[in-house]
Structure 1
Amino acid sequence: MTEAWIATVAQMLTPIGTFSEEQVRLFAHRVRRRSVEKDAVLLAAGAVCQTVYCSLGGAFYQVSYNDEQEPVIIDLHLPGQWFFNHQSFVTQTPSAYTIQAYSDGIVLELTIQVIHELIAMSPVFLQLGSLLNQATDRIRFFDQNLTPAQKYQYVLDFQPQLLHLFPLKMIAAYLKMTPETLSRVRERLARGIS
């Protein structure tokens, strides 16, 4: 276990809570670092989600397919973000979505078994439960009934890296709008019209 790995893990734990150096080392010793190739499936639809991922590099997405077998983008994940299929992980039932790599990348893998082991070692690891709250943020985002312009402005303000890692067609699908609507919104914002 290198000091660089410890520092990386500490950085990924910072948004979750406060952990001592010893606790970071315990965590770092139990999680797995994995290289992932473009198009690799981290979670297949129909499998039970047993792992929480953190992107150390690369772009990932969650997708389902409609009746015509066209992809429906559920979520997009950037480097530095934790992600998993919330419903499947919490209920331990088969996932309705696939989690896939959009590009080559590196993930940190935290299994449900490791979470339980860490909590058994120290109650401080109960802070890992905040990962479950992060997964509901997107649901709240779309429950606000934002206009297409407001959704795109949110991306510009809080997730601009999406625009560099994913094609506009995927971003439009993530924002639940057509690519044509997204193009019109982008054009209006570029001209200063909201």
Structure 2
Amino acid sequence: MAEEWISTVAQRLTPIGTFSPEQVRMVAHRVHRRFVDKDTILLAAGTICQTIYCSLEGAFYQVSNNGEEPVIIDLHLPGQWFFNHQSFVTQTPSAYTIQAYSDGIVLELTIQVIHELIALSPVFLQLGSLLNQGTDRIRFFDQNLTPVQKYQYVLDYQPQLLHRFPLKMIAAYLKMTPETLSRVRERLARGLS
């Protein structure tokens, strides 16, 4: 197995927990690297989420197409793990679609591999911390932040979103109209909050 691949997997596992070099090799041997083209659907609405992805390259998004206008649920950048939390945890059909916004590469960690790794060693129970990441966005929007505070959060913690996605998608992700986002950006540019 190529040392470069093992190093890539080790980098993605570091925020999750502490794994020995041998444990990293065990994971690297079981996960898959997948090249995806722009607009590739990783998870279609109505199917059960069986895989947790990590973007190695490219940008991805989750969207709900239940209404006339698609609703952006989440945006994902390189280095981030992502999946449909509700579907993965309950093993019920997903209400959302996960799609590639650009060409990219993902690391795929299936539920079967997670179970296999946990059966080999309890140290892999640390992979469960990935499930907490699925609730981060819910907590973010439960804080009832103002539009300015939401955009400031993006500027402070996820500025790469502004380089990877169009403002219309960012506005939808922040649950505001593009016009509101424009006014917020203008206010912040003038030094007003």
TM-score normalised per structure 2: 0.99
Deviation track 1:97-121 (CA, whole Å, cap 9, x = no partner) reads 0000000000000000000000000
Deviation track 1:37-83 (CA, whole Å, cap 9, x = no partner) reads 00000000000000000000000000001332x21000000000000
Return structure 1 stretches of 4+ with deviation > 3 angstroms: none
Counterpart residue number, 2:59: 59
Compute the displacement of 1:21 (Å): 0.2
Does 1:85 pair with 2:99? no
Counterpart residue number, 1:179: 178
Q: How many residues align?
A: 193
Counterpart residue number, 2:42: 42
Counterpart residue number, 1:125: 124
- Quick one: which amino acid aligns to residue 76 of structure 2? H
In 2, Cα distance between equivalents of 1:90 and 1:10: 25
Aligned ranges 1:148-163 → 2 under 5 Å: 148-163=147-162
In 2, Cα distance between equivalents of 1:103 and 1:32: 19
Counterpart residue number, 2:6: 6
In 1, Cα distance between equivalents of 2:73 and 2:92: 18
Q: RMSD between aligned alpha carbons?
A: 0.5
In 1, Cα distance between equivalents of 2:54 and 2:84: 13
Counterpart residue number, 2:28: 28
Secondary structure of 2:156's aligned partner: helix
In 2, Cα distance between equivalents of 1:159 and 1:67: 28
For structure 2, the 5+ residue unaligned runs are: none
For structure 1, the 5+ residue unaligned runs are: none
- Quick one: which amino acid aligns to residue 106 of structure 1? I
Counterpart residue number, 1:164: 163
TM-score normalised per structure 1: 0.99
In 1, Cα distance between equivalents of 2:66 and 2:162: 25
* Identity value in percent: 88
Aligned ranges 1:71-82 → 2 under 5 Å: 71-82=70-81
